Amino acid sequence: MATLILKPQREKSLLRRHPWVFSGAVARVKGRPAAGETVAVTDSRGRFLAWAAYSPTSRIRARVWAWEEATVVGPAFFRQRIRAALARREGWIPADTDAYRLVFAEADGLPGLIADRYHDTLVVQFLSAGAEVWRDALVTALQEATGLEHVYERSDAEVRRLEGLPLRQGALRGAPQTSRRITEHGHAFEVDIARGHKTGFYLDQRENRAWVQRHAAARRVLNAFAYTGGFAVYALAGGAADVLSVDTSADALAQVQRHLALNGLPTERGATLQGDVFQVLRTFRSQGRRFDMVILDPPKFAPTAAQVPRAARGYKDINRLALLLLEPGGLLVTFSCSGGLDAALFQKIVADAAVDAGVEARILQRLSQGPDHPVALNYPESAYLKGLVVRVG
């Protein structure tokens, strides 16, 4: 068994059970482990700390599978971990919902593995060298635990390149259809699991969409970065006066209209506009357009801490513009999914945006990812989705 021996005093994060070992913490590697191979991690004195998957090319040199020395990392271990992940979600998924996350990587003790359910199909991602090595065993364990036959792979995320892995996607087991109709809180959506963002749909926003439905009545809503219209469907279902969805993708906006029709909602009250959100907000400001609710759900501006300064300027700009478009008493529902930007900084950015906009504003509520995206206390990076509900005036 190969061993990663840490430098003196570099074991502190592992003793707090953070699941990553960075390359700078490694003094030497005993043996010649292959990518994804299970290695022992010890402190500088040889004391066992964890079993981890080795990644020779990544700055995260190893990702922890288990902390107990007696643990055997193999098929039985993965079956147990996946059953535990499913048990965590019992009672938290609404009965009228058949699309949700089953496994959330490190947060479920399975680094690099993402598994989402879309009705009768599993969509999986193997994002680390360790998950790649155990790919077949992980899929088998998922099928055994869920009883689902169809599995589609979306290992096309750029993070795989950091692990020295090629991008890959396609049918993995069964005969998965790439277009799946799902139900979420009773609302129907058509999801393209082959070409859609992430694994096809923003499952992490499910409870936040429901929040919008509860507070949208009679409001004029601007839904920016709309994608395929999840927030638009919920807003109109909640009695919004009208919803304008803005996105750069014509295909996504066409799907907004289909989703409204699919749910029996008035498409004439669900207009769409193709364009760059930053420019559209500026144009609306110059035109004097006003709204009662603005939803900002932008893509990831800062995947890493190094990109935060530039991303902060973008977040401040769109939030400032959105605040300027709100009527007194209007609500800004704003999000950041950037892992490199923490909640405190996001709040400061929105606060600075309010100062620059010259508006008085207050946080009414904080929003986050749903319970199928649990946050592990030993892995704060799993708390990536940050949302604020801000009232103007």
* Residue-by-residue pLDDT tens, the chain, 393 positions: 899 999 999 999 999 999 999 999 999 999 999 999 999 999 999 999 999 999 999 999 999 999 999 999 999 999 999 999 999 999 999 999 999 999 999 999 999 999 999 999 999 999 999 999 999 999 999 999 999 999 999 999 999 999 999 999 999 999 999 999 999 999 999 999 999 999 999 999 999 999 999 999 999 999 999 999 999 999 999 999 999 999 999 999 999 999 999 999 999 999 999 999 999 999 999 999 999 999 999 988 877 777 888 888 999 999 999 999 999 999 999 999 988 889 999 999 999 999 999 999 999 999 999 999 999 999 999 999 999 999 999
Cα angle value 85/184/263 (rounded, 5°): 170
Residue 74: the pLDDT is 98
Distance CA 288, CA 302 (A): 31
Where exactly does CATH 3.30.750.80 map onto the chain?
75-177
Distance CA 78, CA 229 (A): 36
With 0-12 / 13-18 / 19 or more C-beta atoms within 10 angstroms meaning exposed / middle / buried, residue 268 is exposed
Residues in the chain: 393
Q: Are 281 and 209 in contact (CB under 8 A)?
A: no
Domain 3-66 has CATH 3.40.50.12780: no
Q: In this structure, what token pair is assigned to residue 6?
A: 């840490």
The continuous run of DSSP H or E covering 336 comes out as strand 326-336
In sign, the C-alpha dihedral spanning 40, 24, 340, 159 is negative
Other C-beta atoms lying within 10 Å of the C-beta of residue 305: 12
Residue 309: the pLDDT is 84
Confirm whether 337 is a catalytic residue: yes
Q: Are 299 and 278 in contact (CB under 8 A)?
A: no
Q: Which residue has the tokens 């055997």?
A: 72
Residue 105: the pLDDT is 98
Where exactly does CATH 2.30.130.10 map onto the chain?
3-66
Residue 307: the pLDDT is 81
Pick the CATH number of 75-177 from 3.30.450.80, 3.40.50.1700, 3.30.750.80, 3.40.50.2300: 3.30.750.80
In sign, the C-alpha dihedral spanning 47, 49, 55, 58 is negative
Question: Which one of 85, 212, 295, 337 is the catalytic residue?
Answer: 337
Distance CA 218, CA 311 (A): 33
**DSSP summary character for residue 34:** P
Q: In this structure, what token pair is assigned to residue 341?
A: 């930007």
Residue 341: the pLDDT is 87
Residue 339: the pLDDT is 83
Other C-beta atoms lying within 10 Å of the C-beta of residue 294: 29
**DSSP summary character for residue 384:** -
For 103, the 3-state DSSP assignment is strand
Residue 377: the pLDDT is 97
Q: Are 200 and 123 in contact (CB under 8 A)?
A: yes
Instruction: Tell me how many helices (H) and strands (E) the chain has.
Output: 11, 20
CATH topology of domain 202-392: Rossmann fold (3.40.50)
Where exactly does CATH 3.40.50.150 map onto the chain?
202-392
Q: Could you tell me the pTM of the whole model?
A: 0.95
